[in-house]
Structure 1
């Protein structure tokens, strides 16, 4: 535990705080409702805090477990990598996560601005930002999709983005696929802004 706090303090705080807040709001329905993103209100200048707080809560145990497992595998690794690359690594990681969390919902706010009954929650946008940032550095790493199906990260990224676009238009599963898509794109953009050399590095992984 001490090693995590010392080497990856930002990821450790996000991880612990998100778990505690999510579990607490499972039984606190008032706070749960206050934290949820409501595009109708946000687009009218109200409940702006939910752009941030909606990422601190989750729908149920399954939702929380899936997001936190993904964050555990890639969030801590990304922060550790960024710290090796720059003295600003901790700050850069925080920016990728927080901006990924907030800005990934902007598209949803515009899309659902007139939908009074629409709500959204979860840290998926921020976690997608973290995941796709890491993929830029190591595109050929193998991912276990659903912890079973092996797939190189670059292929997963392409399929994931394509699925997000399709699901945003066609799926009726209650999942905010737009947030996933925009979070992933933002993670890529911020990583390139911080490290422009990551583009030739990414290409070189395939050209040798």
Structure 2
């Protein structure tokens, strides 16, 4: 689990430093317009390492702590030689992939910004659900449901809220991060889908 902890430390440190330097914070977050116009494509990745406020950071690190550690353990079991590498690869590429639809959607809007590790974290959560669909997951420690049900609710909710676009949350990144997490696992271990179906049905 040391890679999970290391990732948490890096995200926390980068976010903290960026809070102290507003100019750096602005350069690291995803501004689709500047990303395209100035060819600053690093923002697709760096935006996953900065956060808006302490609560935003806490929620992502809290989720990463549990699901990152779980996925790291699972990958180390199924892919003992490269499990840690695959874990980091999943998170990093999920952050990038989850941001691409936002980049396309808002590429002509110079005022739109997005930041946070949610795309990568969502990929970890749905990856875990694929491996252990019947494990109860709790939303804010209040509502607890089997992972496959909560995962389905999460995806539907992200689609609906993404279309509404009435809050400051990038639901598109949540959605595409989650979908990417499922695709990543199935490409690595196609038999996981049969195990998932057998467990649920």
**TM-score bracket for the superposition, by shorter chain length:** over 0.9
Instruction: Quote the offset at 1:205 in angstroms.
Output: 0.6
C-alpha separation in 2, matches of 1:186 and 1:85: 19
Q: Does 1:99 align with 2:69?
A: no
Instruction: Quote the offset at 1:177 in angstroms.
Output: 0.5
Instruction: Provide the secondary structure at the position in 2 that maps to 1:150.
Output: strand
Query: Are 1:36 and 1:53, in contact at CA under 8 Å, matched by a contact in 2?
Result: yes
Instruction: Provide the secondary structure at the position in 1 that maps to 2:144.
Output: strand
User: Within 5 Å, which residues of 2 pair with 1:1-208?
Assistant: 8-44=1-37, 46-86=39-79, 87-207=81-201
**Unaligned ranges ≥5, structure 1:** 1-7
C-alpha separation in 2, matches of 1:149 and 1:187: 23
**Unaligned ranges ≥5, structure 2:** none
Query: Are 1:38 and 1:47, in contact at CA under 8 Å, matched by a contact in 2?
Result: no
Query: Are 2:5 and 2:65, in contact at CA under 8 Å, matched by a contact in 1?
Result: no
C-alpha separation in 1, matches of 2:38 and 2:4: 30
TM-score between the two structures when normalised by the length of structure 2 = 0.96
C-alpha separation in 1, matches of 2:109 and 2:141: 36
C-alpha separation in 2, matches of 1:186 and 1:23: 28
Q: Deviations over 1:14-43 (max 9, x none)?
A: 111001111222222111111111111222
Query: Are 1:140 and 1:152, in contact at CA under 8 Å, matched by a contact in 2?
Result: yes
C-alpha separation in 1, matches of 2:143 and 2:166: 25
C-alpha separation in 1, matches of 2:165 and 2:146: 25
Moved beyond 4 Å, runs of 4+? none
Instruction: Quote the offset at 1:151 in angstroms.
Output: 1.1
Query: Are 1:79 and 1:89, in contact at CA under 8 Å, matched by a contact in 2?
Result: yes
Q: Deviations over 1:39-60 (max 9, x none)?
A: 1122235211111111111000
CA-atom RMSD, angstroms? 1.1
Instruction: Provide the secondary structure at the position in 1 that maps to 2:152.
Output: helix
